Structure formats: structure tokens, C-alpha cells
A and B are shown apart, each in its own frame.
Chain A
């Protein structure tokens, strides 16, 4: 194993598991600043995780084993997803490979676990969140697969390491394919992380929640897992955005060196968008995502035209 691979593997594990909560922390911190508030420190998510870790879990009456297992399943699926997404064009295989479509399956597994657990709780708040999440997931998943397909076609493989290598440099930007795919992926990134204008991570007003709704009954370490998983979702989509859908250098060491900078810039972009744009009506979100899917389709069409 070369030095670059070892470093990339270390960054992937340490970043994906330990540093991920910093990302939503940064977004919240800057958002508060942009809105003229002092706001929490970027380390606030860690404080919450520590607080939750010391508390007991609570099961609602009548909950089954599925409710109790769901946070662990979500944690496992998201952790596996963090293993799948490499931080540079090289990465150790971790046994499970780096296939882009496996990532889609793992995200769907996490979604299934949370939504099924919502039925165990059986209240309106959890189920309204779950049913909205699943409704949007139909459009999110199609758009996600299409945007990854744009990159995969450019790279002639769905191996994310190969995709990172193939989309590096400036040559790919001479055709509009990747730019159109990036537009689609930007919408997916907002949806997967549950941020404005698709979801509102701040409100705990039950009727407006999507991702928070099914988590309402969880407490203690269960909730800690779920919150940590939400933070890792930020890591996953932002790393993909940085290393696939944004211009990045060919040199692996430069890719690794630039990654933190780009992640911070993307967090700032999230904060800016959340400050400028209000939350959309839930039922209008599918139109936005469908526009993303069409954009990715146009990207594929432009690739087909230029390659044939």
C-alpha cells in the first residue's frame, strides 16, 4: 500500500467517523453569524452527542425489536457508506469496494430502518415525517442515480475511485455533461442532508419536519447514533461534491490537501443558502428534484452526443 493510499484511508475513516459532526456544526455556526446572532460554537454537535451518550434510552409502549435495532442499523449502513465513499482517487478497498450504486442501496437501507421504526411509534408526527421522507426519496433516488451516472459514464466505471480520477483536472469541464450532473447533485445534497429549502433542520415544529419527525421518540444513545448518522450524511455528500462534481486536481496529495478547504467552503455555501432561501412547500419539492433529474439527463445526452 502506497503512502498516499494509507493517508487517504486514514482521512476517510477519521473524517467520516470522527470529524463529520463538525460539518453541521460549522453550518449552524455560520448561519447564526450570517443572521446576526452569536449562535453555537461549531463543536456544539459533539457536546450534544456527549450529553445524549450519558442518558437512558426510552422505548414507546408497544415498540418492537425493530424500533430498538433501527438506530444501530442506520449507524451501520451510514458507516458502511462512509467506507464506500473515498476521499481521493486512491483508497484501501475496506473489503466492501467503492461502488457508487452500493452507496445508493446503503442510504435506502438507512431510510427503510427509520421509516419502519416510525410505524412502531405509530403517532402522527413520526409517520408524517416518514411518509414525506419516503415520498421525496422517490425523486431523490432517481436524481442521485442519474447524477452519479453522468460521472460514471465519463469515467467508464461506477468505481468511485475511478470516478474521482476521471473527473479530476480541467479537461472534463470542456463539455457541459459534468456541470449538468453537478447541478442535479447539488439538489440531492440538500435533500439528503435535510437542509433548507427542502427540510428545515432547526425547527422542531412537528408539522414542518421531515427528517426530524421519525426521530422524535428516540432518546439517549439511540438518538446519538441517529444524529451522528445525519452528520455523516453531510460528510458523504460534501466529499462526493468536492471530489467528483467540483473541479479538483489530478495529484492525489493535492486532492487530499484541498479537501478540507473545499468542505469548509461548501459548509459556508449551505449556511448562505439557508439564510437566503426559505423552506419550500413539501409538495413542491418533487418538482425541484425532477428538474434536477432532467438536468442530469441532459448531461447524459450531451455526453452521448459528444462521444458518438
Chain B
């Protein structure tokens, strides 16, 4: 039943992909796609709730096989939940020009590639889908940014990094297939060399695709230049599909890993979480900032995953399952609010023409619906009660606390440090989104385009408002989703479905009541305050008028933190003073926070590989004769080796 429904929904997306290519059927095609995506979402969550396994099971043979189980259902559900509003958003965001039509068709193909990875039940289909999702997203960017040299270079970077790192995915999957363990059919003994190699290869390969630090370099470059609906799918779902692979391999298929591997995952997660948010803070472009926040949130998810691995190897099975549930819940939550924020940013870009934070301002008045939904997304991603970000961050904090509780000295301290890092990350996210909300939504408009911005058209508004509603819903009843998620751990019996989060060893989080109390008290206090108000007066700035030139900027607001973290971040600044005959003519100031991983790790690596390539070029003369000599030499060496018994 679910299988038929899912097949029909996927077919609808495929039909929509063809329909959008026609000029007249463009809108109809997008609607068919959106309906299909919504159907995929329903089918996915349905499969998760029923807990059944549909279609084929996993197999290490190379014939194509497809199937859906609970974990696939969760990711399919998330995919549909994000893609449906993103496609509705595209109704007005994309224009039915040739380029717009091709983008719409490629978006649907991208959707199908993501579904392919999730439903794949054999190594070959999995790897095909894995490569397709990279190539298709790169193609969409190239089509959308045709003729832009910088974007072409970025896409090349994206492909190069994800393919170099992606080697790890191939190694992990093929080794699993060879050991007949793709799907966990054959057990891999704990602590064996094979297990460690597969785990490390998966962490590198899938980690690159998920954007964990220090393998993230492509992400903050590639995500911002995609069209908004595709950004939403890339940040909301594609990097989550990479995490899906990681959960499959590390949690389901290769048995209990040694503790040190869990600590390594924890370290990677902590670095991504705090690094992502710190660099996001110092960005001045909204989409780039959001892309860096994806790294932070992937870090939080990976922290949950690391906690799960450590707790599992320490034998604390129920908390290991809760930690996995926390990671998966944050996956869904991040998909929802990040796509909401990306779509909102797309709407702002349409209305204002720029996403430079210092040139927007005042949109809460001009675009109340879109900006209101964006505000909800900002509060959610900042991890504040009563929205969904808080529920999953609370769970992750609890999981890390229990790592310290069940651990020995080494991993216990690692858990405590990760706990502190996550708390600091949450505070930094609040900092960052106060900045975003302040610069984009509040205060006076900071540019003429922003002053004349109008509300987004209905489909765009509807998409963001829907996602904001999901943020509220998942914040109020996270337990409805968390219960089944805990059951996805192969060793866990699951948790009875509940509304809040009632867990042993915690004070529990009755989210419904928290929401009721917060909303009720806010309403009550607002009523009590009454509406008596004096006439508006200009804000006090020591008698000055707040001229546009005196307004605070993104860089100014984050300056105290930049100074505090100077030792770690090495910010650069340049002041050029030009004076003539002792009279000051001009002062120009520029400053930026460099990406240290790029400069210290990748730049030397790039120089080294270029130098190596230059050396290698010497033997490549291009003349046929030389190559014949090389070949002859190779044959001789091989013959000699065979003769001497080396081969």
C-alpha cells in the first residue's frame, strides 16, 4: 500500500520534471512536482510510523534493488516535507524562461537522485545515486549562473572536493560489499582492521559530503550561489542524505566501534559546530552565513552521533538510542528551519536585490508574512524554547551529559568538553541570529531598495509560512517524532509515543506545557502592560540624530567577540590613510576574518599539488616516441619483476 503510494508520488515528480519543460505547462508541472513531493513526504513518514520494511532488503550483490524501511522513511519524509514547499516557492521564484524551465526540471531530477540514494538497497544503486546528487546539484548551479566565471570556478571546486573526499564513500561501500556486509548481513568483528578502515573511510567520504570541518571547504561556497529552492534542498536535504549514509554505516552495519572512534566523531562534531557558527558570525552575506550555519548544525548532529557511538560501546544502550534519536531529530529540525531561512533569503533577494546584511533592514514592516516566518526560523535555529531547535539541542546536551556519566575518565572528559562546546555554540547561534534579525528585519531600511520592498507573492509566502508552522509544531510535540526515531536504533525497543520528551535521568521536557506557559505569560504580561503609550520619540544618541552613516553594521556588532577570539581567528585589517601636505584626505578601512582552515591547510596543500604537477609535467613531452619508450621500459621492468619472482 505504502509502496504503491510512494511509487505514484515519485512518478508524479518525474512527470512534473517533463511537464515543466513546456512553456505553457510550466506552472502545472511545478504543481504536479510539488504534489508528488508532498506524497513522498507522506509516504516516508507513514513508513516510519508503521515501522514496516517495504520492497527489497539490503544486499551486497550488484543487481538494482529498491526498498524502504524506517530510517529511509524518515529521510524520504524529510525530503518531501522540504521539497514540497520549495517547489511551491519556485512557482513565483523561477520564471518560465528557458533557463527557469531547465532549472525546474533539474530540481526534480535532483529530488529523484536524493530519493534514489535513500531507497537504494544495493551498493551500485547507492553509489550511482550518491554521484548523481552531486552532479545534478552542480549542474543546476551552472545553469542558473551561466556565464559567471566565478561561479564556474566554485562549482569546479565543489566537484573536485566532493569527489576527492568522496573516494572514502566508495572505499567504505565497496569494502562493505566485499565483506557481504552492505546492509549488515555479515557481522564485522569489533575492533578489527577492516571495521576501522570502513569507519574512517565513511567518516571522510560521507563527512565531506555532509560538510563537517575540516572537509567543509566546498559548502560555504557552493550553497549560496544556487537558486533559493535548490539551496534549500542542498542545505536542507542533500547534506542530510550524507548523514543518512553515515548512520547506516557507523550505527547499523559495522557493529560496535571502539570508544576512541566515538571520541574522534565527537571531536569532528565539536569542531564543526563551533567553527561553523563562529565563521558564520563574521559573514556579511546572508546566504553565505546560512550556509556556514549548516556546518554548525551538521556538527550538532554529528555530536549526537558521536555520543551514540560512545554510549553504545560503553554498553549504555538506552541512552545510545536516545542519542541517535537526538541526532535524527536535529536532522529533521535543521532541514525544516534551514530551508525556511534559505527560502526567506530568496524572497528577500527578490524584493531587495541584494543579500548584503548591511544593506537590507526594516523588512518586518514591509514584508510581514515572509519576515515573520523568517523570524520564527531564526528563533528556531538559535535553539530557543519553545521551538523545535531547542528540543533537539536539549536532547543532544542530555546525550553528551550521559556520555560523561557512563564514560571512563577519557571519554567522560571528552563528553564534558563537547557539552561545553555545544552550550557555547548555542549561545553563538543566538548571537548570530540576533545580528541577522536585527540587520534584516528590524530598524530602519538601510538602502533605498529595502525601503521600497513589497511583500512576496502568495506561493512564496505560503511556502515559508508552512515551514514556520512545522517549526512550531515540532517544537510543541517533538515526542511524537522522537519516539519512533529512538526505535530506529537496531538494538532499541523504541519509546512510547508521547508529546513532550520524558526521559529517565533528566528533568524531562513537557514541551506542550512549556509552550503554553511561555505564550500564556507573554500574552498576560502584554495585556497587563496595556496600550498606554506616549508619542514615539527619537532614540537617545547623546543628542545626535542617528544618521545612516552612524548606524551599526554587522562588523561592528560582532567586534567584541572578534577581539576576544583574536588569538584563534587572526582577523586581518588594513587602514590606509592618505594625507596631503599634512591635511588628511582620505581614510579607508577594510577588515575580514580569514578562513584559517583554507589558508593554513588547503592553500599549502594546493601549492604542493601544483608543484608536484609541475614536476610530473617534465616527463610528459607530448611526443609519441617518448611514450613508446616509457611503455617499453614498463614492460621490461614488469618482465624483470616476474622473472625475479616479485609478482
- A residues neighboring B (CB under 8 Å): 56-67, 69, 71-73, 75-77, 79-80, 83, 94-102, 104-106, 108-109, 111-112, 115-116, 118-127, 130-132, 134-135, 137-146, 149, 152-153, 156-162, 206, 216-217, 219-222, 225, 282-283, 286, 293, 297, 300-301, 304-305, 308
Contacts and interface: CB of A to CB of B under 8 A. Distances in A.
Contact of A160 (B507, B529, B537): B507
Contacts of A142: 420-421, 423-424, 427
Nearest to B541: A123
B517 interface: yes
Contacts of B364: 64-66
30 contacts: A61-B538, A62-B443, A62-B444, A66-B364, A66-B442, A72-B523, A72-B525, A72-B526, A75-B525, A76-B517, A83-B517, A95-B510, A99-B509, A102-B507, A105-B390, A108-B427, A109-B384, A112-B384, A115-B438, A123-B539, A131-B556, A131-B557, A134-B561, A135-B560, A142-B427, A144-B423, A146-B423, A157-B505, A158-B507, A206-B542
A63 to B, nearest CB: 7
Contacts of A143: 420
B220 interface: no
Given A64-B365, A137-B427, A56 B416 contact: no
B563 interface: yes
A75 B551 CA distance: 29
B434 A116 contact: yes
B283 to A, nearest CB: 16
A56, A66, A96, A219 interface centre (most CB from chain B within 10 Å): A96
Per CB-CB distance, the 5 closest pairs between chain A and chain B, nearest first, are: A119-B438, A99-B507, A76-B521, A159-B507, A145-B423
Contacts of A97: 507-510, 513
B437 interface: yes
B382 interface: yes
Contacts of B525: 71-72, 75-76, 225
A34 to B, nearest CB: 31
From A64, A79, A144, residue with most partner B Cβ within 10 Å? A64
Contacts of A104: 423
Nearest to A122: B443
B146 interface: no
A216 B539 CA distance: 9
- Majority SS at the chain B contact face: helix
Interface string B20-58: 000000000000000000000000000000000000000
Nearest to A162: B507
Interface residues of B, number: 86
Interface string B511-542: 00110111111111110111011101111111
A149 B404 contact: yes
Interface of B: 362, 364-365, 375, 379, 382-385, 390, 394, 397-398, 401, 404-405, 407-409, 412-413, 416-417, 419-421, 423-424, 426-428, 430-431, 433-434, 437-439, 441-444, 505-510, 513-514, 516-526, 528-530, 532-534, 536-542, 546, 550-552, 556-561, 563-564
Contacts of A57: 529, 532-534
A305 B546 CA distance: 57
Given A72-B526, A76-B519, A80-B517, 19 more contacts: A58-B537, A59-B537, A60-B539, A64-B364, A72-B522, A72-B529, A76-B518, A79-B521, A97-B509, A115-B430, A123-B546, A131-B559, A158-B401, A159-B506, A160-B507, A162-B507, A217-B539, A217-B540, A304-B409
Contacts of A80: 514, 517-518, 521
A161 B506 CA distance: 11
B476 to A, nearest CB: 13
Q: Which of A56, A83, A97, A225 has the most CB of B within 10 A?
A: A97
Given A97-B507, A104-B423, A127-B552, A69 B522 contact: yes
Nearest to B429: A108
Contact of B551 (A122, A217, A293): A122
Contacts of B438: 115-116, 118-120
B536 A60 contact: yes
A222 B540 contact: no
Residue among B421, B423, B541, B561 facing the most chain A CB atoms (10 A cut-off) = B423
A300 to B, nearest CB: 4
B444 A149 contact: no
A218 to B, nearest CB: 11
B409 A124 contact: no
A200 to B, nearest CB: 17
B443 A304 contact: no
B433 to A, nearest CB: 8
B522 to A, nearest CB: 4
B533 A59 contact: yes
Contact of A304 (B401, B404, B428, B530): B404
B297 to A, nearest CB: 17
Contact of A134 (B431, B444, B509, B516): B431
Contacts of A59: 533, 536-537
Contacts of B384: 105, 108-109, 112
B401 A138 contact: no
B539 to A, nearest CB: 4
A141 B426 contact: yes
Nearest to A206: B542
A112 B430 contact: yes
Contacts of A134: 427, 430-431, 434, 561
B15 to A, nearest CB: 44
B561 A135 contact: yes
B420 to A, nearest CB: 4
B426 A108 contact: yes
Contacts of B536: 58-63
Nearest to A121: B539
B569 to A, nearest CB: 13
Task: Kindly name the residue among B434, B534, B550 whose own CB sees the greatest number of chain A CB atoms within 10 A.
Answer: B434
Contacts of A119: 434, 437-439, 442-443, 552
A221 B534 CA distance: 12
Contacts of B409: 301, 304-305, 308
B421 to A, nearest CB: 7
A105 B442 contact: no
Contacts of B507: 97-102, 157-162
Contacts of A116: 434, 437-438, 442
Nearest to B391: A105
A125 B533 contact: no
Contacts of A65: 364
B509 A102 contact: yes
Greatest chain B CB density within 10 A among A119, A121, A139 is at A119
A115 B423 CA distance: 18
A98 B507 CA distance: 5
B560 A283 contact: yes
Contact of B564 (A64, A71, A141, A283): A283
A221 B537 CA distance: 17
B534 A300 contact: no
A145 B419 CA distance: 8
Given A116-B437, A153-B405, A158 B427 contact: no
Given A138-B431, A140-B427, A297 B413 contact: yes
